[in-house]
């Protein structure tokens, strides 16, 4: 079924949802975005996603045409128009139409797009068996270059690492920052377990302030687990008991091998399983 796309203030048919070749989102990756889940007809953590979107926009001096409440309404309208009860929303704001020069300020109006669609999931088997990853040689963007906290349309840094993963026949790669500490995966945050303690790198290590990350940290604390934000090295990942990734699309997924080294018993460990189950229940619960 053809989708209805929100484009600059109204819903249009998918076939009519077009942007200009002079849009700086296309020409320069100049813009910001969010990926958001819909579970049981509810938009998951919408406030947190919108906060991050507005912060990303502010960081790159991208004016938003709507306030947060209006945007929340537009998201829900788009979800409804496409009868999505379980799916994925891609919300993007580009700098808009400009010239062939870099200058963002010649772009008079930003362009806002909301796509509400189904989601392509990793196969269930991958969650049961756990995934393999590699360490990328591509270093995560320096915080004074393209700040990793900004969810910008420019994902080349992550794409280069993803290519390394795919060249090695694994779905994901761990990215390290310019100091050699773990930053994140190409589209997910990283957690590890050692002596029963759950560790994740601080956002300053070069990761996105993941919404799933925050929910999982909260759920882990509720389960009585100790959660520590700390710089992690590649060696820490090699010797940990459990390793898992979190993200809107992947949710919580265990990692069982990194750079050919087996983690723990070679299957997703007990804490990974527990947090996956708790996340699943929390996200899909009927009433909050």
Selecting among 4, 18, 132, 151, the annotated active-site residue is 151
Residue 187 sits in the site that holds ligand PMP (CB under 6 A) = yes
Backbone φ/ψ region at 239: left (φ over 0), alpha (ψ -120 to 50), beta: alpha
Does residue 202 interact with ligand PMP by CB under 6 A?
Answer: no
Nearer to ligand PMP, 8 or 54 (CB): 54
To ligand PMP, the closest distance from the beta carbon of 187 in angstroms equals 4
Q: In the annotation, is 151 catalytic? A: yes
- Is 6 or 88 the residue whose CB approaches ligand PMP more closely? 88
217 scored as a contact of ligand PMP (CB under 6 A): no
Judged by CB under 6 A, the stretch of 11-19, 75-83, 159-167, 245-253 that binds ligand PMP is 245-253
Least CB distance to ligand PMP at residue 98 (A): 25
DSSP string spanning the chain? Answer: -PPEEEETTEEEEGGG----TTBHHHHH--EEEEEEEEETTEETTHHHHHHHHHHHHHHTT---SS-HHHHHHHHHHHHHHTT-SSEEEEEEEE--B--SSS-GGG--S-EEEEEEE---PPPHHHHHH-EEEEE-SSPPPPTTSS-TTS-BS--HHHHHHHHHHHHTT-SEEEEE-TTS-EEEESSSEEEEEETTEEEE--GGGT----HHHHHHHHHHHHTT--EEE----HHHHHH-SEEEEEETTTEEEEEEEETTEEPTTSS--HHHHHHHHHHHHHHH-S--
Residue 158 touching ligand PMP (CB under 6 A): yes
Tell me the closest approach of the beta carbon of residue 200 to ligand PMP, in angstroms: 11
Nearest approach, Cβ of 197 to ligand PMP (angstroms)? 21
Of 110, 135, 177, 248, which one interacts with ligand PMP (CB under 6 A)?
A: 248
Among 23, 164, 184, 242, binds ligand PMP (CB under 6 A): 184
Closest C-alpha among 44, 36, 35, 90 to residue 285: 44
Q: Which is nearer to ligand PMP, 30 or 34 (CB)?
A: 34
| Binds ligand PMP (CB under 6 A): choice among 173, 198, 211, 256 | 211
Query: Among residues 120 and 195, whose Cβ is nearest to ligand PMP?
Result: 120
**Residues contacting ligand PMP: total by CB under 6 A:** 15
Tell me: does residue 140 bind ligand PMP (CB under 6 A). Answer: no
Which of 12, 14, 35, 282: binder of ligand PMP (CB under 6 A)? 35
Among 212, 268, 263, 276, which Cα is nearest to 234's?
263
Binding site for ligand PMP (CB under 6 A): 35, 158, 184, 187-189, 207-208, 210-213, 246-248
Catalogue the active-site residues. 151
């Amino acid at each position: 079924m053809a989708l209805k796309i929100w484009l600059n203030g109204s819903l249009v048919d998918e076939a009519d949802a077009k942007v200009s070749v002079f849009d700086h989102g296309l020409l320069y990756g100049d813009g910001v975005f969010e990926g958001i889940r819909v579970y049981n007809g509810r938009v998951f953590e919408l406030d947190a996603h919108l906060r991050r979107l507005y912060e990303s926009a502010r960081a790159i001096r991208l004016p938003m045409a709507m306030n947060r409440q209006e945007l929340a309404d537009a998201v829900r309208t788009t979800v409804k128009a496409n009868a999505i009860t379980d799916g994925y929303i891609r919300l993007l704001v580009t700098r808009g139409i400009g010239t062939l020069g870099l200058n963002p300020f010649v772009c008079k109006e930003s362009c806002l797009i909301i796509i509400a669609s189904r989601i392509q999931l990793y196969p269930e088997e991958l969650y049961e068996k756990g995934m393999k990853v590699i360490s990328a040689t591509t270093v995560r963007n320096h915080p004074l270059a393209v700040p990793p906290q900004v969810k910008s349309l420019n994902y080349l840094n992550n794409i280069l690492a993803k290519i390394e993963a795919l060249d090695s026949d694994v779905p994901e790669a761990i990215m390290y920052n310019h100091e050699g500490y773990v930053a994140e995966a190409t589209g997910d945050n990283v957690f590890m377990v050692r002596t029963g303690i759950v560790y994740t790198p601080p956002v300053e290590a070069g990761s996105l302030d993941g919404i799933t990350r925050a929910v999982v940290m909260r759920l882990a604390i509720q389960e009585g687990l100790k959660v520590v934000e700390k710089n992690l090295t590649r060696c820490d990942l090699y010797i940990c008991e459990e390793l898992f990734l979190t993200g809107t699309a992947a949710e919580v997924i265990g990692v069982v091998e990194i750079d050919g080294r087996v983690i723990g018993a070679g299957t997703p460990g007990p804490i990974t399983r527990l947090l996956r189950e708790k996340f699943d229940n929390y996200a899909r619960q009927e009433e909050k």
